[in-house]
Amino acid sequence: MRYPHLPLLMLLAAVVNNFGYSYIQVFIGKALDVITKPGWAVAALIGAAAGVLISATVQAVTAIVRNFSVEFLAQRIERDARQELYISLLGKSESFHGRQHVGDIMARSTNDVRMLNQMFSPGISLIIDSALALLVPLFVIGTVNYRLLLVPCIFTVLLVLAVIDFSRRMRPVSIGQRTTFGQMNSELEEAVSGIEVVKAHAREKHEWVKFAKKAKEYRDLFIRQGRMQGGYIPTLVFSVAWAAGVFHALLLWRRGLLSIGQVVTFIGLMGTLRYTTYMSLFTFSLVQLGVASAERVLALITAESDLDENPGGVARPVRGEVLFDRVGFAYNGNPVISGVSFRAEPGETIAIVGHTGSGKTTLTRLINRIFDVDGGTVRVDGVDVREWSLESLRSQVSTIEQDVFLFSKTIFENIAFGVADATRANVERAAQEAQAHEFISALPNGYETVIGERGVTLSGGQRQRLAIARAFLTDPRILILDDSTSAIDSATEDEIQKAMRRISEHRTTFIITHRLSQIRWADRILVLKRGTIADQGTHAELLERSRDYRRIFSRYD
């Protein structure tokens, strides 16, 4: 409905186009009536020929208008749908994306959205055109002689019933095709993304068999569609109806109720219905695929997200005070965090330690609302994080994780990702603080070197240093370091630690690590055990009184 003039223009052009084609048959019939009468005048024949010429010209011009308007409409719908879907995906929560298959999302974002275009052009366009190619000739036949409507009307009823039945049987096949394509794409994406694991375990054949099985399901659905189309009854019904119509018209002519020209006009108009018959076979299959694709696209767009962006919420500079008040969180119904309470003052460095699965990473993800609490509250500067504008909050909280994600762009663009107006000098300064400048300068194109997807052309330590440089550049008020130096050698880590201490002086920092050198310089240490805080204090205090901390400490040591 954003482009109301386009469908109206298409419909108007299609109506005039079909009247133009129908009246070509009418003028041909009149020409035949002229030459079958004794003493016919040349002027009458020229008039009939002029009628054919004008009708054909009108048909040609309106066909261009119809095709242009529907093509513009289809392209704009595809563009708008793709944009709307992309914006929607960016706004979904991380837990939502964690439940999705990337390959299936890619299939919906590309192939399914493309099918929306084809659903309109040629799909719906041809349906409208073929419907008018049925209704307009019926109207014109009625103007020639109402008695001729008997056979075409019977054929129309049978055609409508057959198309309804065909669409009903075709729907599950179309849905299956789109769903299976998404699953097949997901299998491919996982195999390619995890190719290192596949090859390391010699599972190439296993992955090939899985993909081949899904491809066979996809192929079988098209075979099923082909069999349904091969048994399409209206093509046979039309042949019988055309023969019956010609027979009926000749009977009326024999009784003197029709002229020979009217018989020829009727035969021409009856032949027009063949277009409707054949197009209904093609177009309804295409539209069914488009509808199935539209449902898959809309399912993503309208899916409930766990988080509200709250664009009208609090948006102001963050000081860095973080308060957890009896916080609880469960993932897929399984409790992860329970009754956690503590306060981090602005500029304070908090280390979080605990065994694997104790909830360390989840705890920090509640601060920038990657996840939302199920109970209690998390407050930043005294304001519930749910009352903050999500954009304002996250722009002032930076996270460096062990699993670093880098884009297939230049090193400069990766470091400057979070700062729109970053200068070369600022980027280089951040890289120097992260101990990344030296290896970057040694690359062929320096900061303009394009790294592979996810940074596969770099080592783990190099990727982590780029992520640290990215965080340094954004100058966040709250910094979260989730085992961010695990892939870095000790000498480089010492230099990075010095830089981290400098930037941590004026911001709140949360550290999740097994490196004792980082744990020791924290202002306070939280000891997590099964999602609860077993104890908290300084390194010396916890060594003295906490058996859980000593157990963790001895394991790290």
Measured distance CA(10)–CA(29) in Å, rounded: 29
On whether both 231 and 127 belong to a single domain, the answer is yes
On whether both 326 and 447 belong to a single domain, the answer is no
- Banded pLDDT at 9 (limits 50, 70, 90): very high
- Banded pLDDT at 445 (limits 50, 70, 90): confident
Residue 421 sits in a domain whose CATH number is 3.40.50.300
On whether both 447 and 540 belong to a single domain, the answer is no
Measured distance CA(116)–CA(292) in Å, rounded: 9
On whether both 193 and 235 belong to a single domain, the answer is yes
Going from the C-alpha of 238 to that of each of 98, 130, 266, the distances in angstroms are 53, 14, 15
**Residue 423 near residue 472, CB atoms below 8 Å:** no
What average pLDDT is seen over the chain? 84
Going from the C-alpha of 65 to that of each of 8, 10, 55, 77, 117, the distances in angstroms are 11, 7, 15, 18, 18
More confident residue, 220 or 556: 220
Those residues whose C-beta lies under 8 Å from the C-beta of residue 131, and which sit 6 or more positions away, are 276
Q: Is the pLDDT of residue 39 over 80?
A: no
pLDDT of residue 326: 93
On whether both 10 and 46 belong to a single domain, the answer is yes
Range 515-525 average pLDDT:
80
Burial class of residue 217, CB neighbours in 10 A (0-12, 13-18, 19+): middle
Measured distance CA(144)–CA(130) in Å, rounded: 21
Cα dihedral across residues 167, 173, 177, 183: positive or negative: positive
Measured distance CA(133)–CA(156) in Å, rounded: 12
Residue 417's closest CA among 442, 395, 444?
395
Give the count of domains, the chain.
Answer: 3
Q: Which of 459, 475, 491 is a domain's end point?
A: 475
- Banded pLDDT at 52 (limits 50, 70, 90): very high
pLDDT of residue 58: 94
Q: Which of 244, 270, 302 is a domain's end point?
A: 302
Burial class of residue 539, CB neighbours in 10 A (0-12, 13-18, 19+): middle
**pLDDT per residue as tens digits for the range 113-142:** 888 888 888 888 888 888 898 899 999 999
On whether both 378 and 416 belong to a single domain, the answer is no
Q: What angle do CA 180, 184, 187 make, to 5 degrees?
A: 140
- Banded pLDDT at 491 (limits 50, 70, 90): low
**Residue 94 near residue 399, CB atoms below 8 Å:** no
pLDDT of residue 455: 63
Cα dihedral across residues 239, 240, 245, 248: positive or negative: positive
On whether both 338 and 407 belong to a single domain, the answer is no
pLDDT of residue 328: 93
**Residue 424 near residue 431, CB atoms below 8 Å:** no
Q: Is the pLDDT of residue 557 over 60?
A: no
User: Is there a domain that residue 509 lies in?
Assistant: yes
On whether both 59 and 206 belong to a single domain, the answer is yes
User: Is there a domain that residue 309 lies in?
Assistant: no
On whether both 251 and 364 belong to a single domain, the answer is no
Eight-class DSSP state of 448: G
3-state class (DSSP) for residue 101: coil
- Banded pLDDT at 486 (limits 50, 70, 90): low
Residue 394's closest CA among 489, 309, 328?
309
User: Is there a domain that residue 123 lies in?
Assistant: yes
pLDDT of residue 496: 61
User: Is there a domain that residue 307 lies in?
Assistant: no
User: Is there a domain that residue 40 lies in?
Assistant: yes
On whether both 153 and 224 belong to a single domain, the answer is yes
CA atoms within 13 A on the CB side of 99: 12
3-state class (DSSP) for residue 398: strand
Residue 151's closest CA among 3, 42, 269?
269
pLDDT of residue 15: 93
User: Is there a domain that residue 292 lies in?
Assistant: yes
Other C-beta atoms lying within 10 Å of the C-beta of residue 420: 6
Range 15-28 average pLDDT:
92
Other C-beta atoms lying within 10 Å of the C-beta of residue 155: 24
How large a percentage of the chain has pLDDT more than 70?
A: 92
Range 42-61 average pLDDT:
91
CA atoms within 13 A on the CB side of 387: 9
**pLDDT per residue as tens digits for the range 298-337:** 888 888 766 667 778 888 989 889 999 999 998 877 889 9
Q: Got the DSSP string for 493-536?
A: HHHHHHHHHHHHTTSEEEEE-S-HHHHHT-SEEEEEETTEEEEE
Q: What angle do CA 384, 387, 390 make, to 5 degrees?
A: 110
CA atoms within 13 A on the CB side of 146: 0
Where would I find the H helices in 2-41?
A: 5-35
On whether both 39 and 159 belong to a single domain, the answer is yes
On whether both 96 and 172 belong to a single domain, the answer is yes
Chain position carrying tokens 């996810």:
454
For residue 335, whether the previous peptide bond is cis, meaning omega lies within 30 degrees of 0, is no
Residue 53 sits in a domain whose CATH number is 1.20.1560.10
User: Is there a domain that residue 312 lies in?
Assistant: no
- Banded pLDDT at 344 (limits 50, 70, 90): very high
**pLDDT per residue as tens digits for the range 60-89:** 999 999 999 999 999 999 999 999 988 888
Question: Quick one: how far is CA 424 from the chain centroid?
Answer: 34
Q: Which of 302, 326, 348 is a domain's end point?
A: 302
Which two tokens mark 196? 């290192």
Residue 30's closest CA among 269, 265, 266?
265
Domain with 484 in it: 317-396+476-557
Eight-class DSSP state of 112: I
